[in-house]
């Protein structure tokens, strides 16, 4: 029997990239655990399933509920767990904070309990830069920075971090915590900034860029999802799980710079306006930034540079056969039903 790893949220954007990366770079089986929300689609795993039919399995479960014995039994072969599944959209968390607490706090508790019952060898909790709140200009937060979330999403992820640390401290569960910045890549949900920007540029629609009252654009560090996957696998294979936290950062660009780079790649003009984020999106922060020197000191570096990652993403997204990923709603995904059948059979 091959070694197996459980990826929660494996049908989501970053989770599917993580599944692909682990299957490409190990001989492990991958067990995807997902409940298929609006942001999850088994269609992301169709190509993965085609290439790795014998090594990819799917287990349906909503981790907001306790893991029933049947699901725990289905995961019994998993030596490792990467808890990647989460609600992640700040704006949605402002309108429905309860769902975020149920998924990201209660769901993490249930997943930790399942991991403890299975006696897994390493549990990675995937968190976010947003737990630390706004970063002043010129400041990159390290792993010891104070947690100061600005919105329910960030607070719920901070709660998950606290639970993961407590399970290491109280029960000896072998835990690692990671914080990642803005991810992008192929098959990302169209509510996110880069696919939304591509869609609007292709339709010659004006962009709304969030900034401040002076007209400055907000800033983030940007990382392709496969680079995050590379870092997670590296930590799993090269570190001892002792509740250490590692930052996986990326390359800093303003939102306006990202939009301009996308427009240059598409070779189109760009119309935009900068709006004051405090008025347009309460609970958002002007700038996020992480210091990732701790991880880089272990000799991990992003395998694909930012510019090449962005270029590949835009090129893939504008190809006619992939353009439906830029649209929202089930009518935009005609292959979804067949994808479900392909994964479950």
Q: Which residues are marked as active site?
A: 129-130, 153
190/332 Cα distance (integer angstroms): 11
Other Cβ atoms within 10 Å of 311 Cβ, number:
15
Provide the 8-state DSSP code for 103. Answer: I
Using an 8 Å Cβ cutoff, are 7 and 59 in contact? no
Residues 160, 126: Cα–Cα separation, whole Å: 9
Encoded tokens for 292: 């990732």
CA gap 209, 199 in Å, rounded: 15
What does the block give as tokens for 50? 């085609």
How far is 205 from 180, CA to CA, in rounded Å?
30
- From the number of C-beta atoms within 10 Å of its C-beta (0-12, 13-18, 19+), residue 342 rates as middle
* DSSP line for 15-84: HHHHHHHHHHH-S-EEEEEE---TT--GGGGHHHHHH-TTTEEEEE--TTSPPPHHHHHHTTTEEEEEE-
Place of tokens 């936290």: 245
Helix, strand or coil for residue 286?
Answer: coil
Q: Are 187 and 157 in contact (CB under 8 A)?
A: no
What pairing do the DSSP bridges indicate for beta strands 272-276 and 251-254? unpaired
Q: Which residues pair with 80 in a beta bridge?
A: 5, 122
Structure tokens given for 113: 């309990």
CA dist 47 and 36 (Å) reads 18
Residue 58's DSSP bridge partners are: 32
Lookup: tokens for 210:
């969030």
| Per-residue tokens: 147 | 């947690």
């Amino acid at each position: 029997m091959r070694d197996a790893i459980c990826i929660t949220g494996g049908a989501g954007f970053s989770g599917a990239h993580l599944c692909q990366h682990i299957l490409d770079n190990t001989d492990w089986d991958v067990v995807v655990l997902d409940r298929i929300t609006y942001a999850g689609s088994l269609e992301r795993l169709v190509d993965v399933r085609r290439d790795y039919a014998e090594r990819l399995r799917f287990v349906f479960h909503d981790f907001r509920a306790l893991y029933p014995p049947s699901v725990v039994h289905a995961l019994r072969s998993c030596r490792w767990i990467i808890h990647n599944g989460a609600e992640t959209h700040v704006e949605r968390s402002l309108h429905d904070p309860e769902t975020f607490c149920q998924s990201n706090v209660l769901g993490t508790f249930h997943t930790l309990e399942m991991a403890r019952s299975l006696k897994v060898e390493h549990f990675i909790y995937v968190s976010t830069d947003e737990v630390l709140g706004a970063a002043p200009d010129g400041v990159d937060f390290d792993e010891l920075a104070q947690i100061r979330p600005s919105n329910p999403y960030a607070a719920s992820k901070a709660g998950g971090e606290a639970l993961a640390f407590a399970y290491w401290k109280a029960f000896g569960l072998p835990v690692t915590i990671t914080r990642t910045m803005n991810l992008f890549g192929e098959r990302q949900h169209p509510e996110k900034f880069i696919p939304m920007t591509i869609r609007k540029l292709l339709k010659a629609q004006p962009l709304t860029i969030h900034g401040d009252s002076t007209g400055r654009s907000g800033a983030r560090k940007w990382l392709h999802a496969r680079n995050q996957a590379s870092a997670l696998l590296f930590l799993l294979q090269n570190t001892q799980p002792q509740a250490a936290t590692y930052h996986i950062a990326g390359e800093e660009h303003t939102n306006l710079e990202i939009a301009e780079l996308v427009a240059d790649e598409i070779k189109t003009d760009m119309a935009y306006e900068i709006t004051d984020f405090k008025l347009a999106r309460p609970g958002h922060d002007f700038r996020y930034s992480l210091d990732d020197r701790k991880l880089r000191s272990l000799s991990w570096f992003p395998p694909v540079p930012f510019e090449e990652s962005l270029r590949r993403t835009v090129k893939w997204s504008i190809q006619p056969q992939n353009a439906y990923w830029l649209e929202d709603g089930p009518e935009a995904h005609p292959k979804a039903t067949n994808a479900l059948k392909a994964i479950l059979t």
